[in-house]
Amino acid sequence: MGQGHGHASAATAGGRHRRPLFIAFGLTAGYMVVELIAGLVFGSLALLSDAAHMGTDVLGLGMALAAITLASRPATSQRTYGTYRLEVLAALANGLLLFGVAGYVLYEAVQRLSDPPEVPGLPLLVVAVLGLVVNLISFRLLTAGSKESINLRGAYLEVLADMLGSVGVIVAAIVIYTTGWPYADPIVGAAIGLFILPRTWKLTAQALRILMQVAPPGMDVEEIRRRLIELPDVLDVHDLHVWTLTSGIENATGHVVVADGADYHDVLDRVLALLADDYGITHTTIQCEPAHHEEHDTPV
C-alpha cells in the first residue's frame, strides 16, 4: 500500500492579521475608558450603557487576539493539530457575546420607550463622533482579515456593531439636541440590536459548522468522490472525509483503491492535484490500496 500526505502551511489565516487586530483592540479599549469617564461626568445613562457595550467588545477583541496568539503555538505529541481550533472557539464565544449584547440593547430600548431618561444632546454628540472615528479606523484595519478568518470575522462584527451604534447615537443626539424628543435614543438602540442579530446568527452557525466537522459550505463530498473515481487507475474511493480545521485550512482523508499494475505515485499525485487545484484542499492524507485489499469495518 502507498500513503501520501499533502502538507498545508502552519500559519492560520487569522495569524496574518494579528497586528491590525491588536491596534483595533487598543483603540477600542481606549475609547471605552473615554466614554466611561464622559458618562460619569455628564451623568449620561446612554454613554454609560454604551461604555458597557464597548466593554463586551474589548472582551471579544481580546479573546480573538488571545486565540490567534495561542493558535501560533507548534503542535505537540498530544495536540497534533496544534491549537488552531482556539480561533473557532473564540468566534463562537464572540457570537454568543453578541447575542447577549443585542438582547440587552433590545431590553433597554423597550424599558426606555415607557420611561425615556433625560439625555444631554451635545455631550452625547461629541463623544459619539469620537467613537465613530475610532470605529472607522478599527473597521478598516479588520476588513481584510474578516474575509479570511472566522475569528477575525467575529472581531469585525464587533467593530461593525460599534460603528453603527456610533452612527445611531449621533443621529439620536442630533434629534435630542435640536428637538428635545427623548424617544430617539431607545428607537435607535432597538434598530441597532435588530441589525446585529442576523449577522451574529450567521457567525455562530459557521463556527458550529466547523466544530461539528461538517464539510465546508458549497463543497459536495459525494461529488468529490465521483471525480476521484473518474481519474485513471482509480477503481473506488471510500472513507472520504472533508472538513475545516480553522479558517483557511481545509482537511481531507480517504482511501483510494488502485488498479492492479498501476503506479501508486502517479495515482496519488493526480488525487492530490485534483483536491488542491479544484477544491482548495491542501492538507490531505490519502491511503492507496490494491484492488484485492480487504477492508475491515472500523468505527468512523
Mean pLDDT per 10-residue run, the chain (300 residues)?
Answer: 44 65 89 84 68 71 74 72 75 82 79 74 82 88 78 76 78 85 79 77 86 91 97 95 84 94 93 95 92 59
Query: What is the structure's pLDDT at 156?
Result: 81
Phi-psi region of 37 (alpha: psi -120 to 50; beta: other; left: phi over 0): alpha
Confidence (pLDDT) at 238: 95
* 160 part of a folded domain: yes
Contact 132, 68 (CB under 8 A): no
Q: Are residues 35 and 135 in the same domain?
A: yes
Q: Which pLDDT does position 15 carry in this prediction? A: 59
65 within some domain: yes
DSSP letter at 213 equals T
Domain-located, residue 297: no
Residue 6 confidence (pLDDT): 44
For residues 247 and 189, membership in a common domain is answered with no
Separation of alpha carbons 230 and 269, rounded Å:
14
Are 188 and 234 in a shared domain?
A: no
Same domain as 122, residue 63: yes
Number of domains in the chain: 2
Select from 185, 211, 237 the last residue of a domain: 211
pLDDT of residue 9: 43
What pTM, to 2 d.p., does this model score? 0.69
Structural domain contains residue 296 = no
Query: Is the CB of residue 288 less than 8 Å from the CB of residue 264?
Result: yes
Domain boundary among 211, 237, 252: 211
Residue 91 lies in a domain: yes
| Residue range(s) defining the domain that contains residue 44 | 14-211
